[in-house]
Amino acid sequence: MITNNAEIIVEFRKKVQEIYPDAEIHPYTSRAYEAHQDKSNYNVLVMLNEVNAITYEIIHKIAWKIGFKHKNFLLPIITQKYDRPLYPPHLF
């Protein structure tokens, strides 16, 4: 099965947002910019309002199933959204 990058990311985003509607999904690294080798991983940043151990397990299972289906590896990095800057503004 040959699938383009957008199809895999869209499928992952849809499945995650069915469970976590607040999720923001951002692909990054070489796959995000089409500058990749055929066997490159799909790296995605998943940002949620709240993160816990169950969230990690569910999202990683979704990534595994979609990656297996498309014969590739999806690596989600899961983090919590913050309503304030991570660094004090005076540092920049």
Structural domain spans, the chain: 5-82
Q: Where are the beta strands (DSSP E) in the chain?
A: 24-28, 42-48, 74-80
The topology under which CATH files domain 5-82 is Beta Polymerase; domain 2 (3.30.460)
Report yes or no on whether pTM surpasses 0.85: no
Select from 34, 37, 31 the least CA-distant residue to 45: 31
* Distance separating alpha carbons of residues 30 and 32, to the nearest angstrom: 5
Neighbouring residues of 79: CB distance < 8 A, sequence distance ≥ 6? 45, 46, 47, 48, 51
What pairs with residue 79 in β-bridges? 47
Q: What are the tens digits of pLDDT across the range 2-15?
A: 456 678 889 999 99
The whole-number pLDDT of residue 17 equals 97
- Both structure tokens of 30: 């070489």
